[in-house]
Amino acid sequence: MTTRATPSTTADPLVETVLHWYDENARDLPWRRPEASPWSVLVSEFMLQQTPVVRVLPVHEAWLARWPTPAALAAESSGEAVRAWGRLGYPRRALRLHGAAVAITEQHGGEVPASYDDLLALPGVGDYTAAAVAAFAFGQRQVVLDTNVRRVLARTMTGTEFPPRSVTRAERDLGASLLPQDAPTAATWSVAVMELGALVCTADRPRCGGCPVVARCAWQQSGAPAYDGPPRQVQTYAGTDRQCRGRLLAVLRDAPGAVPKARLDTVWENAEQRERALASLVEDGLATLDADGRYRLP
């Protein structure tokens, strides 16, 4: 929903180069189209957390078809949100998105709020999501720092392969210093540098040969030194509690009603891990235990 402003509104040559690259290489994504609603943008931001675009696209489309407004989602149970979340992973995001829809309906007349502070107050919305929705849905001038943006800035501006584990004051100051003064241009810059990180300046095997700002990249100019900071976390899945939770939740999601405990016992061999994972689903609000000992979505 961002609009491109004139080049004269941009001071930094790196910013202008990335903006020109984005004009020619931006992916056509539904939440970026001019007709996309702020609700579409908010839904996309929840879904895209730790999930590739290719997996989000069909779920986002189905979600907006079923719940085109926050009020439509708020009118249904949180369990239906978990069911529709499907296999995107990290299903607590579905609960938080449902909670945000309820808050928007009750506190904002069913309209996604435009202000950063009001967005930040919604369930499940942190600094990044609030800034992203304010920028991408409402064209505001915000410092938007996701993993892709932070990696691009770390390499091009500070000469390091990867940014710190968590956002630092120095990163915020750097992001603010590059932000164009014109709000529409700033919003486009925020999505453009994010796209560069997603498509070119990737974490693994970056395509430096096709990067529009390689000549300005401090990391390349210093010989692309290998990362020497704290060990980067590598997520595993097979055999973890997270995989076990996913198996159990899939049974609940596919069932029309309550599921007997015996049915859940068949999907994971390790009984101790299975019981721990099932208890955590109930604790997190992703499953409920009926009086007769059967489980269901909330």
Q: Is residue 182 part of a domain?
A: no
Residue 132 sits in the same domain as residue 246: no
Average pLDDT on 271-286 reads 94
Domain holding 263: CATH number?
A: 1.10.10
Q: Any residues with CB less than 8 A from the CB of 220 and at least 6 apart, and which? A: 155, 208, 214
54 vs 226 pLDDT, higher one? 54
Q: Is 117 buried (19+), middle (13-18) or exposed (0-12) by CB count in 10 A?
A: exposed
- At residue 25, the pLDDT reads 97
pLDDT in tens, 146-189: 999 999 999 999 999 999 989 999 999 999 999 999 999 999 99
Asked if the model's pLDDT at residue 5 lies above 50, the reply is no
Secondary structure E strands in 1-136: none
- At residue 6, the pLDDT reads 43
pLDDT in tens, 50-73: 899 999 999 999 999 999 999 999
- At residue 236, the pLDDT reads 76
pTM for this entry: 0.90
The number of folded domains in the chain is 2
Domain holding 105: CATH number?
A: 1.10.340.30
Average pLDDT on 274-284 reads 94
Q: Is residue 235 part of a domain?
A: no
Burial per residue of 266-280, b for 16 or more beta-carbon CB atoms within 10 angstroms, e otherwise:
eebeeeebbeebbeb
Looking at every residue in the chain, the average pLDDT score rounds to 93
79 membership: H or E segment, kind and range: helix 78-85
Domain boundary among 120, 138, 156: 138
Asked if the model's pLDDT at residue 30 lies above 90, the reply is yes
Separation between Cα atoms, residue 214 and residue 257, nearest integer Å:
55
Residue 128 sits in the same domain as residue 249: no
Q: Sorting pLDDT into bands at 50, 70 and 90, what band is 114?
A: very high
Q: Is residue 204 part of a domain?
A: no
Domain boundary among 109, 138, 167: 138
Residue 248: which domain range?
241-296
Q: Is residue 157 part of a domain?
A: no
Domain boundary among 138, 158, 192: 138
pLDDT in tens, 97-108: 999 999 999 999
- At residue 7, the pLDDT reads 46
Q: Is residue 70 part of a domain?
A: yes
> Which residues belong to the active site?
45
- At residue 1, the pLDDT reads 54
Average pLDDT on 29-57 reads 96
Q: Sorting pLDDT into bands at 50, 70 and 90, what band is 10?
A: low
Q: Is residue 214 part of a domain?
A: no
Asked if the model's pLDDT at residue 4 lies above 50, the reply is no
Q: Is residue 261 part of a domain?
A: yes
